[in-house]
Amino acid sequence: MTGGTPEGILAARTWSNLKPLVADADPYLVTDLLIPPVHVQAVTLNLSELEETILLAMDDDPAALLTSELAERGWHLSYDGLMYRVSGTFTNPLNVAAQVATQLGRSLGAALVHAQARNRWAFIAWRRPDLLLASEPGHAWRLYRIDGAVTPESRFAGAEGIPAAGLVGRPVPFGKGLPPTALELLGAAGADPAEVLTRLIRSRH
């Protein structure tokens, strides 16, 4: 699962992409799909091995436990291969994105979170001490610096508008060049800025 050989690198990439889905799987929904071995040396997956794989993915996926916690609030957390997305019964996506980014950031180091409620959404890229925010309404990138014990959750707690505290420079309209710090932040999360912007623009429609 950690690479090393060409086959290992492929396995590591595949596991990285699939483990959020595996962690969310219900093994008892696929029992009729498990194939019993017919030949002595046949390699098949049994139920206990499937359960072990799910537990492995949950241990390896920082969002697995968070998914259950958010579900209790009526929120759904998913991963689209680029960013974590949150939807559900909330009205302030900025607060929600900040909460999820804070929790994921503790495990991942760098986290990309998009929260959407009807026609409003907020996107946060977070790696201490830098935070990049885009939101609808807003149509601009905003770069923040969050130092000390302050977190995205505490910085944006209760915010109805877009806070100015910690803002670095001026907002950058979509389509304009991002400052180097913002580009480094997205790069640390393995994200291409153009792809991020494309997905955010799609969220507006």
Q: What pTM, to 2 d.p., does this model score?
A: 0.69
pLDDT category, 188, cuts 50, 70, 90? confident
Percent of the chain with pLDDT over 90: 14
- pLDDT tens digit string along 132-169? 998 887 778 999 998 888 899 988 887 667 777 878 88
Backbone torsions φ then ψ of 84, nearest 5 degrees: -85, 135
Residue 70 burial (CB count, 10 A): 19
Whether the CB-CB separation of 141 and 166 falls below 8 Å is answered with no
- Neighbour order of strands in the sheet with 130-136: 75-79, 84-88, 111-117, 120-127, 130-136, 140-145, 167-173
Q: In this predicted structure, what is the pLDDT of residue 120?
A: 85
- Burial level of 32, CB count in 10 A (0-12/13-18/19+)? exposed
The whole-chain average pLDDT of the chain stands at 82
Domain positions in the chain are 1-61, 62-203
- pLDDT tens digit string along 104-136? 888 778 889 999 987 788 999 999 899 999 888
Q: In this predicted structure, what is the pLDDT of residue 124?
A: 93
Q: In this predicted structure, what is the pLDDT of residue 1?
A: 59
Q: In this predicted structure, what is the pLDDT of residue 131?
A: 93
Give the mean pLDDT of 74-97.
88
